[in-house]
Amino acid sequence: MKTIIAACSQNLSGSRASVQTALRTLLAAPWPSQRDIRSWLQLLSVLQWVLSFLLLGTVSLLLLIYLVFTSFWPISALYLAWIIFDWDTPEKGGRRLPCLRRWSVWRHFRDYFPVKLVKTHDLSPSHNYIIGSHPHGILCVGAFCNFITGSTGFGEMFPGIRPFLTTLAGNFRLPVFREYLMSGGLCPVTRRAIGYLLSKNGTGNAVAIVIGGAAESLSCRPGVTTLILKNRKGFVRMALQHGAYLVPSFSFGENDLFRQVVFEEGSWMRSIQQRFQKMMGFAPCIFYGRGLTSVRSRGFLPYARPITTVVGEPVMVPKIEDPSCETVDMYHEMYVRSLLKLFNENKTKYGLSETDELHIL
């Protein structure tokens, strides 16, 4: 018996010593600094955003289809009934949730790059506005961060102005993803949706349109500043029909977030991209960024490059219900001049050289 007790005592002593050694080792290990924690939070915030835009709609659709063949089929049936009932809501201003704009994750998202908003002129709440957002880039990070989240201070810089951002109408046909988009203040880039915001939603509305769209994303690459704008005049006609002022904005650094395989005009791959764009509304770009665990690895996360979005001077536009082509061309030319002025006055401040030019196609 004494032998057994002695053995147990020895085991307990050994276990106690092992625990103490493990605790000392744990306490001696370097704890992550506040800087490390901030970096992780920033990386996770960008990761959730990228996954939401690339996968949320598709995964939700596949999940609802799968549930149809299980005992949980009423969930899919009820959500289908909800979509039918709620079908026109995206075209009527959406269903924004102010709390989502104040979500703390967007501050980490902003600081990852970082993203900055620069105001050059006031916007009066007594008018409505169409903000032209340039360039498109790959995922429109600057437009999203500045016009959808409140992290860069849009509400404080432009008091009384409600910003909206337009995106492909097809995105609002995807289950769950449509709710996510509307809650942030996104709306379809359709005449009906934009017209509602500019005519039936009071004043103080600023509708941001990424004018270059999918066609512009095909030419997105670092060091090249090319905009698809010369024949994009529908936004000018909309502005004239509703008396909305035109406001140019430019996100310096947007094209530096990803690397893209750019196919030359006339190549068979470029033709496939353009045909796909015409059929589906978006272009299948082949791009890459940094990996999740290392900046040196390749992945789908954007590189941490500073983005500065400069909002320019409004171009005053009269209200003309049926503007002539000559009138549309005149105000389109005024808008282009205002955009070029904005670019040239700010390019050296935000990473470009004096010799860099803005190419408009």
Percentage of the chain lying above the pLDDT 90 cut: 62
Q: What is the DSSP letter of 347?
A: G
Per-residue model confidence (pLDDT) at position 156: 95
CB 306 within 8 A of CB 281: no
Q: What tokens does 261 get? A: 């395989």
Distance CA 158, CA 237 (A): 25
Per-residue model confidence (pLDDT) at position 334: 97
Please give the full DSSP string across 298-315, using - where no structure is assigned: EESBPP---EEEEE---B
Mean pLDDT for the stretch of residues 309-317: 96
Per-residue model confidence (pLDDT) at position 2: 45
Per-residue model confidence (pLDDT) at position 312: 96
Least confident of 86-95, 253-262, 331-340: 253-262
Per-residue model confidence (pLDDT) at position 3: 46
Per-residue model confidence (pLDDT) at position 26: 47
- Tell me how crowded residue 357 is: count the other CB atoms within 10 A of its CB: 12
Per-residue model confidence (pLDDT) at position 12: 42
Percentage of the chain lying above the pLDDT 70 cut: 84
Q: What predicted TM-score, i.e. pTM, was given to this entire model? A: 0.86
Per-residue model confidence (pLDDT) at position 167: 92
The yes-or-no verdict on residue 280 having pLDDT over 70 is no
Q: pLDDT band at residue 9, thresholds of 50, 70 and 90? A: very low
Q: pLDDT band at residue 161, thresholds of 50, 70 and 90? A: very high
Distance CA 242, CA 21 (A): 74
**Residue of higher predicted confidence among 104 and 14:** 104
- Return the H-helix or E-strand segment holding 360: strand 359-360
Q: What tokens does 86 get? A: 């709620």
Q: pLDDT band at residue 208, thresholds of 50, 70 and 90? A: very high
The yes-or-no verdict on residue 6 having pLDDT over 50 is no
Least confident of 2-11, 74-83, 102-111: 2-11
Please give the full DSSP string across 54-96, using - where no structure is assigned: IIIHHHHHHHHHHHHTSTTHHHHHHHHHHHHHTTTGGGGT---
Mean pLDDT for the stretch of residues 233-251: 97
The yes-or-no verdict on residue 356 having pLDDT over 50 is yes
Q: Mean pLDDT across the chain, nearest whole number?
A: 87
Q: What is the DSSP letter of 122?
A: -
What are the start-end ranges of the H helices in the chain? Answer: 2-28, 34-51, 57-68, 73-85, 98-101, 105-112, 141-147, 154-157, 177-184, 191-199, 213-217, 234-242, 268-280, 325-346
Least confident of 104-108, 138-142, 296-300: 296-300
The yes-or-no verdict on residue 5 having pLDDT over 50 is no
**Residue of higher predicted confidence among 1 and 329:** 329
CB 241 within 8 A of CB 319: yes
**Residue of higher predicted confidence among 98 and 172:** 172
Per-residue model confidence (pLDDT) at position 214: 75
